[in-house]
A and B are shown apart, each in its own frame.
With several copies, the nearest count.
Chain A
Amino acid sequence: MPFIPHTEDDVSAMLTVIGVASIDDLFDEIPAGLNVAGLPRVGPGLSEAEIARLMTERADGDGRELCFAGAGAYDHYIPAAVWEIATRGEYYSAYTPYQAEASQGTLQLIYEFQSMMAGLTGLDVANASLYDGATAFAEACLMAVRANRASRSRRVLTTRAMSPAYRDVARSILGGQGVELVELPLTDGLTALDAFGAEDGDFAALAIQQPNFLGRLEAVDQLTDWAQARKMLVIGVCHPTMLALLKPPGAWGQAGADIACGEGQPLGIPLSSGGPYFGYLTCRLPLVRQMPGRVVGRTVDLDGRPGFTLTLQAREQHIRRSRATSNICTNQGLMVTAATIYMSLLGAEGLRRVAAQCHANTRALVTALTGLPGVVLAFRPFCHEAVLQFDCPVAPLLEGLSRQGILGGYDLSEDYPELGQALLVCATEMRSAADIERYAVVLKGLMTAPLRAQGG
Chain B
Amino acid sequence: MKTEPVIFEYSRPGRRAPSHAPAEAAGPGDLPAAVLRTDPPALPEVSELQAVRHFTRLSQLNFSIDTHFYPLGSCTMKYNPRACNRLAMLPGFLGRHPLGAVERGQGFLACMHELQEMLKAVTGMPGVSLTPMAGAQGELAGVAMIRAYHRARGDGARRVVIVPDAAHGTNPATAVMCGFEVREIPTDPSGDVDLEALRSAVGPDTAGIMLTNPSTLGVFERRIGEIAAIVHGVGGLLYYDGANLNAILGRALPAAMGFDVVHINLHKTFSTPHGGGGPGAGVVAVTQRLEPFLPVPMVTCEAGRYRWLTGRERPQSIGRLSAFMGNAGILLRAYVYMRMLGGEGMRRVSGFATLNANYLMAKLRESGFEIAFPGRRASHEFIVSLKGLSRETGVTAMDFAKALLDHGYHAPTTYFPLLVPECLLIEPTETESREELDGFVAALVAIRDLARRDPAQVKAAPLTTPVRRLDDVRAARDLDLTWQSKRPATGGA
Contacts and interface: CB of A to CB of B under 8 A. Distances in A.
Judge A-B direct contact (beta carbons within 8 Å).
yes
A251 B111 CA distance: 45
B80 interface: yes
Nearest to A177: B179
Contacts of B366: 17
B328 interface: yes
Interface in A125-164: 125-126, 128-129, 131-135, 163
Contacts of B78: 3
Contacts of B470: 100-101, 299-301, 307-309
B481 A125 contact: yes
A45 B471 CA distance: 49
Most chain A beta carbons < 10 A, residue from B90, B147, B479: B479
Most chain B beta carbons < 10 A, residue from A4, A299, A307: A4
A168 B325 CA distance: 13
Interface string B83-105: 10111011111111111110111
A446 to B, nearest CB: 14
Contacts of A324: 169, 173, 176
A145 to B, nearest CB: 12
B173 A381 contact: no
A221 B37 contact: no
Contacts of B60: 90, 105
Interface residues of A, number: 214
B188 interface: no
A49 B19 CA distance: 8
Interface in B119-165: 120-122, 133-137, 139-140, 143-144, 147
Interface in A5-37: 5-11, 13-15, 17-20, 23-24, 26-31, 33-36
B355 A14 contact: yes
Contact of B95 (A26, A64, A285): A64
B211 to A, nearest CB: 14
A413 interface: no
A107 B64 CA distance: 13
A155 to B, nearest CB: 16
Contact of B250 (A39, A101, A248): A39
Given A69-B99, A165-B323, A381-B30, A30 B248 contact: yes
Nearest to B59: A90
A22 to B, nearest CB: 9
A80 B17 CA distance: 14
Interface in A187-234: 210, 217, 219-221
Given A26-B355, A58-B108, A243-B37, A94 B274 contact: yes
Interface string A49-86: 10110111111111111010101110101011101110
Most chain A beta carbons < 10 A, residue from B3, B49, B282, B468: B468
Given A125-B482, A330-B277, A1 B348 contact: yes
Given A3-B78, A104-B467, A347-B17, A64 B434 contact: no
A429 interface: yes
Most chain B beta carbons < 10 A, residue from A114, A134, A306: A306
A431 B10 CA distance: 33
A319 interface: yes
Contact of B479 (A60, A94, A311): A311
A14 B356 CA distance: 8
**Chain B interface category by residue count:** 35 or more
B319 interface: yes
Nearest to A360: B26
Contact of A95 (B61, B276, B344, B478): B276
A401 to B, nearest CB: 9
A346 B482 contact: no
A365 to B, nearest CB: 13
Contacts of A122: 41
Contact of A273 (B93, B280, B338, B402): B93
A120 B277 contact: no
A344 B29 CA distance: 26
Contacts of B493: none
B417 to A, nearest CB: 11
Contacts of A87: 85, 89
A94 B120 CA distance: 29
Given A62-B104, A73-B99, A92-B64, A115 B225 contact: no
Interface stretch (A349-357, A368-376, A433-441): A349-357
Interface in B189-216: none
Nearest to B93: A59
Given A33-B225, A81-B51, A272-B94, 16 more contacts: A5-B431, A48-B19, A51-B340, A62-B93, A62-B108, A67-B97, A108-B4, A108-B61, A172-B319, A176-B177, A176-B178, A244-B41, A327-B140, A332-B279, A345-B17, A410-B99
16 contacts: A55-B87, A62-B92, A65-B100, A91-B62, A93-B77, A111-B483, A131-B322, A134-B323, A247-B37, A274-B328, A302-B471, A306-B490, A311-B476, A317-B170, A327-B136, A357-B26
> Which 4 A-B pairs give the minimum distances between C-beta atoms?
A274-B324, A89-B66, A333-B277, A334-B275
